[in-house]
Every structure is written in structure tokens, then in C-alpha cells.
């Protein structure tokens, strides 16, 4: 963070200071005491499982010089001053807004969409880092905590901030854009993630489009021309619009042609831009990463990276955030796709497509947990996914293993596909899924493991690979 005295932090956040006003915060602002470091500020957050106030001493013990909290913490203020505020997320937002406005030379880019924000942010970061110092942490720092914490990492050496913006309701993205106003904004897609909370896809589009609305007239809105709800956001922005498309015949300036997948489902394509074309071979798995790569390319292009830098950077970019289409091969020739970070109808279909492609020479097994937050459509959505799984490979899918009660309706969908000859099984938990697979897997089989976060199926993928649980 830019160095600030605790007195100044108290002023910015409207907090009450206990302790030495001249103490200076020079390090990172964190909400996890295990991540605290020398010179840092520890913000105590009351979560569902833990109360950050209980960890203030631990943070100070490893170097935090001050604490932001809603009530006094058991750390003597001579050891570390405290700033007491009514609302920690609001205080973090105020502090982040101050830092963002103190660094006018930083180009701020926001990325939103229902699926692929983290992947695109990671790809974009690996391109933009070629232009100068960039802040874009691995992982999904995209909400009222992660977003300001990311902004607070910026300092005078920072040139680019690449931010992931998420919404669970209307106004969330507008709020995040108010903290660190982006000049560049990319909207990837409008899908069913959290659609239950929003009430439907049009409501999701309204919320995601808040990013387009927040952009200034001298900004750039990067929009997916292949998604009609995203394309329509062109009417909601004052910024210049630049579209991207995975359809080579599209009028979008940034496009992909000749998309092919290798045996491990890694796409290669010809990147078409107004400046020319270049071959790109991604290290990421799944055709759905083509639009993500195009969005990252369009953003880096606007920031000034040339075509060679973009093509080279996309080819060199790795998956920085874990459990998104992580593909590993076992010694016995079984391939495991760990896509257990999260799940919604679009991302499960994308993963099943990749599985079908990768299992062409063997058999595919899909271990699928539930897709959360789909509201009233939950049961029907799980049935449709089961049907899709049975249809997609026409069907190389040898086994569909639905984990947990909420995922079980997938089996009804799959069984409705008469031509599918695979096996459909419902199991209560990951351990049972593992037992079942142990007797079935043969060399050249491919296993996809995917579910919403709450199911924690990444442990199943780890166990399949013989790794300790994570
Ligand atoms: N364009 C896409 N279409 C469909 N699925 C995608 C797309 N991009 C990524 N995915 C899949 O969606 C899942 C989540 O990817 P990622 O973490 O990049 O998305 P996110 O939008 O950041 O998610 P979250 O809302 O949890 O932060 C992964 O399984 C990934 O493979
Ligand atoms: Mg994310």
C-alpha cells in the first residue's frame, strides 16, 4: 500500500483511533492473519465461521503494525494502534478509493461476466505485465473484501490494476466501480451463475452491464459480440466499444479463426486483429477459453501491447488460479481434469465438452456435484446437465457419478437419453465416488471432477492423483 499514518487512515475511514497516530502502515492490508506481514494493516472481519477480532494478536505477532476493527481487540494499543469503525468493508472501500485516486497514473481495468472472470483476469495479467508493473492477484478477489484489498496493493510503482468484479445482486458492480473507477471494462458473458439470486438472465445482464455504465467517455468497453446480452451493453456505455468474437466471420475487430483442440483439449487458433493475424496455442484446456483469451487480447491491445506480444503472451500464459480445468495425467495413463473450483450450467457444459474431446480414445467419467444458487430452476438445471452429459459425447461418457442429493436429478436427465449406454450412479459423497471409480478406471480413461465450491470435490481430484487432500 502507499504509506499512510494511522491518523490518516482513521480520517479516511471515519474511524476512532486508539494508540499512536504517527504509526505508519507500509505493508499489505489483509483480512487473514496468516497472510499478515511486516508493516501491514490487519482488518478484523466477522465471518460465518470465524471472528477476525480473535486473530488480531496473531497478525500483530507476525508484523502487522495496526488493526482495523469494529470493536477493541485484545492487542495493547502501544503494541499496535487500532482504528475502530462501524463497518469494515465500508472502511476498506473508503481506503481503497483514496489509494486509487492517489495514483492517477494507474490504468484500471475491470473484468466481469458469469463465467471466466478469474481465468481472463489471469490471462490478461500475463499479457499486461509485459507493459509494466501490474497488480492482479491469483484467485477470485472479486467482492466487497477482495476488490478493495487488491486495489490497496497498488503503490506508486504500479502501472496497471486488473480487477475481477463479481455481482450477487444489482448495484454490486456499480459499488465496486465506485471504489476504483475503471477506464477499461470487459464483459465476458451473461449466464446462470447466481441467476437464482438475480431472478433471471435479463437481471444478470442488468447487473453485469453496470461495468459498461461506469466507464468514462475516454474509456473502452470490451464486449463479447457472441453473447447478445453482452453485445447489447454497447447501448449502455459512454465509452468506445471494442468487441471480440470466436466467430471469424463476425464484424468484431478481435476474432479467432481456425479453432482446433489438441488431444488434451488445448485450443489453438489464429488471432485476427485490425493490425494483422498471428497463431496462438493456449496452454489452458477447453474451447471455452478461446473467448477468455480474446477478451484478454482485446484488453492488452487497448493498453498498447502489440500483436506479437499478445500472441506470444497468450501462448506462454499458464493457469494461475487453482482447480479451473487443471489437467494431470497419472502414471497409469488415466487423465484427471480438476475443475472443482465452481460450477454453473454454462461451465459444466464447457467442461463436459472438453471431457468429450479428451476422451475420444478412451472412456470419459464425469464426477459432478451440485450447481449452487440456481433458485427455483435448480432441479430442472441438474436434469438438463445430466441430459447434456449423456448426449454430448454421443456418448463416450462411460459413467456419470452425481455426488450429493442436489446433484442426483442429473441421473433422471441422463437416463432419458435412450441412446446412451453409460452408467449413471448417485453417491452421497466424494469418498464413495472414489471407491466406485477405483474399480472402473483403466489406462486412457479421462475423469472430470466438477461441482460448486461448497461440495469441495477438489479433494476427489487430488485423491485420484494420489495427492494428499487439500
Ligand atoms: N467462457 C466460459 N464459458 C463457460 N465456462 C467457463 C468460461 N470460462 C471459464 N469457465 C469455467 O468456469 C469455471 C470458473 O472459471 P473462473 O474461475 O475463471 O470463473 P469466475 O467467473 O472467476 O468464477 P467466480 O464467479 O467463482 O469468481 C471453471 O470451471 C472454468 O473452466
Ligand atoms: Mg473468479
3-state secondary structure 14-55: CCEEECCCCCEECCCEECCHHHCCCCCEEECCECCCCEHHHH
Ligand 1, atom 16, residue with closest C-alpha: 116
**Ligand 1 atom at minimal distance to the Cα of residue 194:** 25
Expressed in angstroms and rounded, the spacing between residue 118 Cα and the centre of ligand 1 is 7
Expressed in angstroms and rounded, the spacing between residue 325 Cα and the centre of ligand 2 is 13
Ligand 1, atom 4, residue with closest C-alpha: 347
pLDDT tens for each residue of the chain, 470 residues long: 999 999 999 999 999 999 999 999 999 999 999 999 999 999 999 988 899 999 999 999 999 999 999 999 998 888 999 999 999 999 999 999 999 999 999 999 999 999 999 999 999 999 999 999 999 988 888 889 999 999 999 999 999 999 999 998 999 999 999 999 999 999 999 998 777 778 889 999 999 999 999 999 999 999 999 999 999 999 999 999 999 999 999 999 999 999 999 999 999 999 999 999 999 999 999 999 999 999 999 999 999 999 999 999 999 999 999 899 999 999 999 999 999 999 999 999 999 999 999 998 889 999 999 999 888 889 999 999 999 999 985 667 999 999 999 999 999 999 999 999 999 999 999 999 999 999 899 999 999 999 998 888 999 999 999 986 54
SS3 state at 114: coil
Q: State the pLDDT at residue 112.
A: 98
Identify residues whose C-beta is under 5 A from ligand 2, the ion: 117-118, 140
Ligand 1, atom 26, residue with closest C-alpha: 342
- Nine cell digits for residue 310: 499478445
Question: pTM, whole model, 2 decimals?
Answer: 0.94
- Nine cell digits for residue 273: 486483429
Expressed in angstroms and rounded, the spacing between residue 116 Cα and the centre of ligand 1 is 3
The CA distances from residue 416 to 234, 409, 419, 421, in Å, are 41, 11, 9, 11
Interatomic CA distance for residues 465 and 447, integer angstroms: 11
- Nine cell digits for residue 112: 466481469
**48: CB partners within 8 A, 6+ apart:** none
Interatomic CA distance for residues 341 and 459, integer angstroms: 11
Q: Is residue 397 a contact partner of residue 355, using CB atoms and an 8 Å limit? A: yes
Expressed in angstroms and rounded, the spacing between residue 6 Cα and the centre of ligand 2 is 32
- Nine cell digits for residue 284: 489452458
Expressed in angstroms and rounded, the spacing between residue 163 Cα and the centre of ligand 2 is 10
Interatomic CA distance for residues 4 and 24, integer angstroms: 6
**Ligand 1 atom at minimal distance to the Cα of residue 347:** 5
Ligand nearest to the CA of 117: 1
Amino acid at each position: 500500500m502507499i504509506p499512510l499514518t494511522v491518523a490518516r487512515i482513521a480520517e479516511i475511514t471515519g474511524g476512532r483511533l486508539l494508540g499512536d497516530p504517527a504509526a505508519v502502515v507500509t505493508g499489505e492490508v489483509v483480512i487473514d492473519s496468516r497472510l499478515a506481514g511486516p508493516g501491514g494493516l490487519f482488518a478484523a472481519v466477522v465471518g460465518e465461521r470465524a471472528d477476525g477480532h480473535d486473530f488480531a494478536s496473531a497478525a500483530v505477532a507476525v508484523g502487522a503494525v495496526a488493526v482495523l476493527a469494529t470493536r477493541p481487540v485484545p492487542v495493547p494499543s502501544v503494541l499496535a494502534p487500532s482504528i475502530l469503525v462501524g463497518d469494515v468493508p465500508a472502511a476498506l472501500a473508503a481506503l481503497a478509493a483514496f489509494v486509487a485516486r492517489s495514483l492517477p497514473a494507474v490504468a484500471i481495468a475491470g473484468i466481469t461476466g458469469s463465467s471466466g472472470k478469474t481465468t481472463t483476469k489471469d490471462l490478461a495479467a500475463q499479457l499486461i505485465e509485459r507493459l509494466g508493473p501490474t497488480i492482479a492477484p491469483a484467485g477470485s478477489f472479486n467482492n466487497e473484501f477482495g476488490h478493495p484489498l487488491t486495489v490497496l496493493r497498488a503503490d506508486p510503482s504500479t502501472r496497471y490494476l486488473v480487477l475481477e468484479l463479481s455481482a450477487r445482486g444489482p448495484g454490486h458492480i456499480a459499488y465496486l466501480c465506485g471504489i476504483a473507477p475503471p477506464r477499461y471494462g470487459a464483459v465476458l458473458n451473461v449466464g446462470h451463475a447466481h441467476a437464482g439470486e438475480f431472478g433471471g438472465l435479463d437481471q444478470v445482464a442488468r447487473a453485469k452491464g453496470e461495468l459498461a455504465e461506469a466507464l468514462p467517455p475516454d474509456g473502452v468497453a470490451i464486449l463479447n459480440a457472441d453473447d447478445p446480452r453482452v453485445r447489447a451493453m454497447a447501448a449502455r456505455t459512454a465509452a468506445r466499444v471494442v468487441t471480440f468474437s470466436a466467430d471469424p466471420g463476425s464484424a468484431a475487430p478481435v476474432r479467432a479463426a481456425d479453432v482446433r483442440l489438441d488431444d488434451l483439449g488445448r485450443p489453438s487458433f489464429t488471432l485476427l486483429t485490425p493490425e494483422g493475424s498471428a497463431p496462438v496455442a493456449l496452454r489452458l484446456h477447453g474451447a471455452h477459453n478461446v473467448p477468455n483469451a480474446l477478451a484478454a487480447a482485446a484488453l492488452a491491445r487497448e493498453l498498447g501491447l502489440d500483436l506479437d506480444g499478445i500472441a506470444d503472451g497468450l501462448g506462454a500464459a499458464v493457469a494461475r488460479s487453482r482447480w479451473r480445468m487443471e489437467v494431470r495425467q497419472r502414471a497409469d495413463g488415466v487423465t484427471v481434469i480438476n475443475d472443482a473450483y465452481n460450477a454453473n450450467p454454462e461451465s459444466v457444459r464447457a467442461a463436459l465438452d472438453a471431457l468429450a474431446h479428451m476422451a475420444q480414445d478412451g472412456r470419459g467419467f464425469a464426477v459432478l456435484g451440485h450447481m449452487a444458487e440456481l433458485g427455483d430452476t435448480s432441479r430442472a438445471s441438474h436434469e438438463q446437465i445430466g441430459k447434456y452429459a449423456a448426449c454430448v459425447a454421443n456418448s463416450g461418457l462411460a459413467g456419470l457419478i452425481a455426488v450429493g442429493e442436489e446433484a442426483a436429478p442429473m441421473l433422471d436427465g441422463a437416463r432419458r437419453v435412450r441412446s446412451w449406454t453409460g452408467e449413471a450412479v448417485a453417491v452421497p459423497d466424494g469418498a464413495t465416488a472414489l471407491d466406485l471409480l477405483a474399480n472402473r478406471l483403466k489406462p486412457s480413461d479421462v475423469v472430470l471432477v466438477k461441482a460448486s465450491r461448497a461440495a469441495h470435490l477438489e479433494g476427489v481430484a487430488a485423491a485420484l492423483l494420489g495427492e494428499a487432500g487439500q
